[in-house]
Structure 1
Amino acid sequence: MNNFTWIFLLALGASLILKLWLAQRQIRHVAENRGQVPDAFADKIQLDAHQKAADYTLTNTRQGRIELIYNSLLLVGWTLGGGLQWLDNSWQQLGWGSITTGVAMLISAFLIMAILELPFTIYHTFVIEERFGFNRTTPATFVGDLAKQALLMLIIGVPMAWAALWLMQESGGLWWLYLWLLWSGFSLLMLWAYPAVIAPLFNKFSPLEDDTLQKRIQSLLNRCGFKSQGIFVMDGSRRSGHGNAYFTGMGQNKRIVFFDTLLKTLEADEIEAVLAHELGHFKRKHVQKRIITMMLLSLAGLALLGWLIEQSWFYQGLGVQQASNHLALLLFLLVSPVFTVFLQPIMSWFSRKHEFEADDYAAAQSDAADLIRALVKMYRENASTLTPDPVYSAFYDSHPPAPVRVAHLSTRTAS
């Protein structure tokens, strides 16, 4: 242990206390407002639906507190508890080369972490989601998804890990810059390829068959100057009762995707308004701004790692005795979230700002009243709380709280 050990423990403790305090605020605020539907929604959402949303939020938040503590203990176990050092020693005994050993270490560590988090995923899917009527996932589908995810980790993760470690070993002092270029290129490739290659492994995507709705959507796309490779319906109901819509892909490989559950819930004019909101993100270049932001953050992170990798106190302070490229990379990935927790509310603020901008665009291209009705239905069907704690919401939420968002849109209904 050294001074950095205490800095790490202090940061971890402060982060944990902050998040537990925020969770307690959320629990208290939602519970206090459970008994009455907010005035803005009194004629739109029944009390039983409001209480279901409150109970769903309370259950997930309480479960989240347990996960926070569990993950913090795991992090200490991996680092100061010697978990990473033990796993690395086990691979080193095989006598493989440094890059091969590093790849094996990285992949096995991430697989073990996924296994250790699996009980919470199972509980959330088959207990919490089942209790509130959202789960559609069968055990066979769940196991199949896990197998596909593990296979993808091997197919994609092994070459990427090998390339990263090779650059770290062979490309000199600017390895972090070359690695950033590799990671940026890979991320853009995945954004382009995901709709056609990855997503169909888990869900079925069918062309929208409602000709009237398709013509209406195409008219909106033409007005907005948006070209896509098609309008698709995803079989989201195979796994969950939640509904959503999104854009995926980039360049000439963009797709519009509606959950089948959403299409069953909304009317045609409401679907058009939801799509207009999503188009607002495209027209306001939110996706590009987020990509650039994440690239700049990753560049800063890798530059920092380029310095930390030469510091013996970095390894020793986190329970690792023998420095190596793969352990430096793994330690950085595990520990950096502890020190960057302050970025969460900043990123959330920008995301909410983008949501307001997209809502304004939707109000201009369709009808704000239609979007309000669609949002209310989505809040109800997804059991989204109408009364989040303001501080909790400001820290975490990527979307404005329901009352704030509806109030904002209401000012656009007359325009």
Structure 2
Amino acid sequence: MTDTLFSASISLSLVFAAALALSLVLKFWLGSRQIRHVAQHRDAVPAAFAHTISLAAHQKAADYTVAKARLGLLEMALGAAVLLGWTLLGGISSLNQALVQAMGLGTGQQLALLVAFVVFSGAIDLPLSWYQTFVLEQRFGFNKMSFRLWLADLLKSGLIGALIGLPIAALILWMMAATGSLWWLWAWLFWMGFNLLLLVIYPTLIAPLFNKFAPLEDETLRSRVTALMQRCGFSAKGLFVMDGSKRSAHANAYFTGFGAAKRVVFYDTLLAKLSAPEVDAVLAHELGHFKHKHIIKRIVSMFALSLAGFALLGYLTQQVWFYTGLGVQPNLAASNDALALLLFMLALPVFSFFIAPLFAQLSRKHEFEADAYAVSQTSAQDLSTALLKLYEDNASTLTPDPLYVSFYYSHPGASERLARMRGMASTAA
């Protein structure tokens, strides 16, 4: 290894280790702030909610938030240790060498490396996933899944991932080897096309493998929802109720699909908890995202960011220091494309973590805009009461740490969100 290459490799190792350490310290600091702040405000309902949220519900939300945050700290520590094991401590390099010795060099070995990594990573994540579902969610009354259903979901996800992921991985590896120095551009075009296709086929082909989707049968609610969508200039392929209650007591509503394949989906738990005007208000909020073109803006942003990512990966695949700096000895006699994909996938989140607050802030801005649209089409009072019911039923804390919110929350905190709605209602009056 030349002095220049050695210097570049050591520099990357140091920068990566420093970024990982800094991100871990920041995550632990923010998580600890959240735990302390929520615990300190556990014994009193905020004045703005004193007449609508009981102390018992407020305390349940606080306890649930703290429990999730503590589990999150454990996940962070485990994730950082596993990441170091895969990279700087040589885990991926050892796995790659073992597969080379067993299978020889070639496309088969590269695919096997990707599959083995996914299997080992999934196995490492399983205990915490089980704990979250059957201990944490169970303790607070949210889990409705049996172990058999959880296992069936796991197997279905693995099978679907293999049926879809293996051909995609094979095609991208082929592009990397066969389409020259601009392979990343062709791979990006394919990846974007696949994601757009997935938006179309997911509602009708994939989602029904996990849940049942029945047409909305309540004629009164159907008429209200249809009238609201017509008033907002929105059309959908259908109104459906999803059996979310077979897995969780959490409630939600969402749009899915793209173009002519758009669907409106209500969790059965949502319809059981909200009045018809409140359902209208929640739906109007979702319509607000479409009216403000938030979905299109996010897709365009995803296109731009992924293009930059593929271009960067195209450059890094040609740099030996990229492999050695992340603890991997590249193959000297064959392609290292699978190694490059894995290393890039592992290293990128370490650095992108520091710009996450910018995207969270943009998301919160979009939520405020969608709220404003919902208020203009329905009622601030109905939207407020609907959100309060959802906060209570989902045990969402009303007193999160403001700095934690700024860094992580994709939706505004309850106090700020409802205060804005009251301001909109006052202005309208």
Normalising by structure 1, we get a TM-score of 0.99
Per the TM alignment, residue 97 of structure 1 is displaced from its structure 2 partner at its CA by 5.3
1:345 and 2:357 correspond: yes
1:235 and 2:247 correspond: no
Q: Find the counterpart in structure 2 of residue 48 from structure 1.
A: 56
C-alpha separation in 2, matches of 1:288 and 1:99: 37
The equivalent position to 2:33 in structure 1, one of 25, 40, 45, is 25
- For 1:3-402, what aligned pairs fall within 5 Å after superposition? 3-95=11-103, 98-323=106-331, 324-402=336-414
* Secondary structure of 1:340's aligned partner: helix
C-alpha separation in 2, matches of 1:390 and 1:228: 37
Per the TM alignment, residue 101 of structure 1 is displaced from its structure 2 partner at its CA by 1.6
Equivalent pairs, count: 415
* Secondary structure of 1:232's aligned partner: strand
Per the TM alignment, residue 100 of structure 1 is displaced from its structure 2 partner at its CA by 2.0
* Secondary structure of 1:412's aligned partner: helix
The RMSD of aligned alpha carbons is 0.9
Per the TM alignment, residue 349 of structure 1 is displaced from its structure 2 partner at its CA by 0.4
Paired residue type of 1:287: I
The answer as to whether partners of 1:135 and 1:240 remain within 8 angstroms in 2 is yes
C-alpha separation in 2, matches of 1:355 and 1:95: 51
C-alpha separation in 1, matches of 2:60 and 2:35: 14
C-alpha separation in 2, matches of 1:145 and 1:74: 25
Paired residue type of 1:338: V
Q: Find the counterpart in structure 2 of residue 403 from structure 1.
A: 415
Paired residue type of 2:130: I
Deviations 1:351-397 (A, max 9, x none): 00000000010001111110000000000000000010000011000
Paired residue type of 2:372: D
Per the TM alignment, residue 96 of structure 1 is displaced from its structure 2 partner at its CA by 5.1
Paired residue type of 1:219: A
Per the TM alignment, residue 2 of structure 1 is displaced from its structure 2 partner at its CA by 1.6
The answer as to whether partners of 1:107 and 1:157 remain within 8 angstroms in 2 is no
Point out the more displaced range, 79-88 or 36-45: 79-88
C-alpha separation in 1, matches of 2:158 and 2:398: 37
Paired residue type of 1:24: S
Deviations 1:301-339 (A, max 9, x none): 111111111111110111111150110011000111001
C-alpha separation in 2, matches of 1:97 and 1:299: 29
* Secondary structure of 1:93's aligned partner: helix
C-alpha separation in 2, matches of 1:183 and 1:384: 35
Per the TM alignment, residue 99 of structure 1 is displaced from its structure 2 partner at its CA by 2.0
Normalising by structure 2, we get a TM-score of 0.95
Per the TM alignment, residue 81 of structure 1 is displaced from its structure 2 partner at its CA by 1.7
C-alpha separation in 2, matches of 1:413 and 1:260: 29
The answer as to whether partners of 2:23 and 2:354 remain within 8 angstroms in 1 is no
**Identity percentage of aligned residues:** 53
Per the TM alignment, residue 115 of structure 1 is displaced from its structure 2 partner at its CA by 1.1
Q: Find the counterpart in structure 1 of residue 4 from structure 2.
A: none
C-alpha separation in 2, matches of 1:97 and 1:205: 46
C-alpha separation in 2, matches of 1:281 and 1:413: 20
Point out the more displaced range, 346-355 or 293-302: 293-302
Paired residue type of 1:223: R
* Secondary structure of 2:424's aligned partner: coil
Which consecutive unaligned segments of at least 5 residues does structure 1 have? Answer: none
Paired residue type of 1:355: E
C-alpha separation in 2, matches of 1:295 and 1:381: 36
Point out the more displaced range, 80-89 or 169-178: 80-89
C-alpha separation in 2, matches of 1:98 and 1:44: 64
* Secondary structure of 1:407's aligned partner: helix
C-alpha separation in 2, matches of 1:91 and 1:215: 60
* Secondary structure of 1:88's aligned partner: helix
| Divergent runs of 4+, >4 A | none
Paired residue type of 1:361: Y
Per the TM alignment, residue 295 of structure 1 is displaced from its structure 2 partner at its CA by 1.3
Deviations 1:262-315 (A, max 9, x none): 100000000000000000001111011111111111111111111111111110
